[in-house]
Structure 1
Amino acid sequence: MNAQLTPPNIGEIWPGQGGIYAGIVPARNGAEAYHLIIGEEIGRFAWDPHCDHSNASSLIDGQANTKDLIESGGDYPAAHAAAQHIADGHADFYLPAAAELYEAWLNLGYKDWGLVWSSSQRSANNAFSLLFVDGYQVNSGKNLELRVRPVRRLPIQ
């Protein structure tokens, strides 16, 4: 395997891949397993728009959720910020789904990263977020400005 594609230990920066190696997201619902890389915190953004129901309801596929939010033409600051993130020359970042954030927490353990947005909508008024200190998943108001940590995925070869 190419040294660049050989993952480091979980929790270490993956050189040339744009962030910290957060482990393997297992295969689910017909989707292949993949390596998850979590980028640096890029700021605090609202999920928005509050009181609007989008199609971003997947709990496991943040890539599809982010694509849906952006292509809808709506004002979704957290999703746009994640999708615009570039690190180590990679521009394929997205806002992680609730399950991807939880998988990162399971693999990385305690991180004092605060409350981080997922791309998974809960209702017209709320979306899921995760408190990295203890892995608590929160149903947060979309108008709140929470942390955004974009992720990207790499196929397992």
Structure 2
Amino acid sequence: MNAQQQLTPPAIGEVWPGQGGIYGGLRQYPEGMCHVIFATEDVGRHAYGDYGVSTEATSRTDGRANTSILIARTGKHPAAIAAAAYTADGHADFYLPAIGELHHGWQYAPESFIEEWYYLSSSQRSANLAFDMGFVDGYQDYYCKGLELRVRPVRRFLQ
């Protein structure tokens, strides 16, 4: 396979061979327009962690930045740890998506997620709550940081 074939994305919602998962389309980030790749599977149910503690992981659009903040709080954020530990196709740059990234997944590749479940985001709402997303109807809500929800890692790279 030549380099051009490797950089030609499949249809949104299909697995992109060699890129670690399901192609979610393009999305604007601080570094520029990026391809979004959702892991092909969940990594279980995990708590956000650090109940009662406010962090700076409040971005609703940049899960990578949120995950970096959460991971730096050594051992206190199980969902972020699980997402960041995920690897696929040799890629180890996955992270816990922000609420906007989960919404992007619901908009463009909803069939890739389990409808009956809510997915946890990396976006903190308060010291006790984090945002989550329901894939049955696209409902965004917030959930107690101490309770466990499904976690779906995501990665991105420049177009």
TM-score (norm 2): 0.91
Following superposition, the deviation at residue 4 of structure 1 comes to 1.3
Following superposition, the deviation at residue 52 of structure 1 comes to 0.9
The corresponding residue for 1:137 is 140
The corresponding residue for 2:8 is 6
The corresponding residue for 2:123 is 120
The corresponding residue for 2:91 is 90
Following superposition, the deviation at residue 74 of structure 1 comes to 4.8
Could you list the per-position Cα deviations for residues 40-76 of structure 1 after superposition, in whole angstroms to 9, with x for gaps in the alignment?
Answer: 1010000011111111001111000000111132510
Aligned sequence identity (%): 52
Q: Does 1:32 align with 2:35?
A: no
Contact 2:75 2:81 in 1 (8 A): no
The corresponding residue for 2:62 is 61
Segments of structure 1 that go 5 or more residues without pairing to the other structure are none
Q: Does 1:81 align with 2:82?
A: yes
Following superposition, the deviation at residue 109 of structure 1 comes to 3.6
CA RMSD of aligned residues (A): 1.4
The corresponding residue for 1:105 is 106
Segments of structure 2 that go 5 or more residues without pairing to the other structure are none
The corresponding residue for 2:154 is 151
The corresponding residue for 2:25 is 23
Q: Secondary structure at the match of 1:133?
A: coil
- Matched pairs, number: 154
Between the aligned partners of 1:45 and 1:112, the Cα distance in structure 2 is 16
Amino acid at match of 1:141: C
Contact 2:63 2:98 in 1 (8 A): yes
TM-score (norm 1): 0.92
Contact 1:127 1:140 in 2 (8 A): yes
Between the aligned partners of 1:144 and 1:7, the Cα distance in structure 2 is 36
Q: Secondary structure at the match of 1:8?
A: coil
Contact 2:50 2:77 in 1 (8 A): yes
